[in-house]
Amino acid sequence: MTSSAKRFHVVSCHVLWRELCYFAAQSPHVFTFDFLQQGLHNTPDVLRAELQKAIDRAPGCDAILIGYGLCSNGIEGIVARATPLVVVRAHDCITFLLGSKERYRSYFDAHPGTYWYSPGWIDVSLMPGRDRLDKVRAEYAGKFGEDNADYLVEMEQSWLKKYSNAAYVDLGFGDNEHFKDFTRACASYLGWACDVMQGSPALVCALLDGTWAPADFLVVKPGETIYATHDDAIVCARRADQSPDQAQPAV
């Protein structure tokens, strides 16, 4: 470890494990990692509890880097103990891959009904497509019988009707053609459009390298708690004895 290198501990959703590990290996700093299971954002109170426990068990370091966006308000209420926390100003993990919250917003506005695919998501989650449908149907048939399986699958899959576009994004390293082919196959099966996009590592690299521009990152000081701002800043932080207007200024 060189004199200029810092020790960072990363606590992240497992869906970002490839990107964080790859670019951490190119950083001058020293890292330890704690990857939490995918899906915690579905129950924000559980995400909040598990993330706080992971932060509290972190080893000694210069800062704890958080690999989550706001994620259904799941990081609101998280407290920095003795070590600063660094949070990306993002609603969810896709912003990490696109490189900015502005690019995410622009794509979201232009392509409503988008379901996102990425190497990490495909690794650890059962993505919408034929494989998911077949697995869900087999589970229902085993529990409730063949006669009920098709009806239950139709009900379970009804949430997919609000989507019409599969967008795949990666950060351009490794052999990812099989991930792209998988996304195209899922989109074709579902009757969706498919967009294969080139991501940007700008946010991931800045997080790992310690170049935390206030427009893109919130540094939560020891004793401060994270709050949602419900504006373009996404998150802010303040101590328990501060009122909302005394929080770190939104940017």
Q: How far apart are CA 227 and CA 135, in angstroms?
A: 38
The first and second tokens of residue 138, run together, are 């087999």
Domain ranges of the chain: 7-90+202-246, 97-198
User: Residue 246 — very low, low, confident or very high, per pLDDT cuts 50/70/90?
Assistant: low
Q: What is the pLDDT of residues 119-173, one digit of tens each?
A: 999 998 889 988 877 777 787 778 888 877 777 777 777 888 899 999 999 999 9
Quickly tell me which residue has 């622009």 as its tokens. Answer: 106
User: By the 8 A CB rule, do 199 and 174 touch?
Assistant: no
Q: How far apart are CA 153 and CA 222, in angstroms?
A: 48
Q: What is the pLDDT of residues 193-238, one digit of tens each?
A: 999 999 999 999 999 999 999 999 999 999 999 999 999 999 999 9
* Phi, then psi, of 94 in degrees rounded to 5: -65, -30
Q: State the pTM of this model.
A: 0.90
Q: What is the pLDDT of residues 73-131, one digit of tens each?
A: 999 999 999 999 999 999 999 999 999 999 999 999 999 999 999 999 999 888 998 88
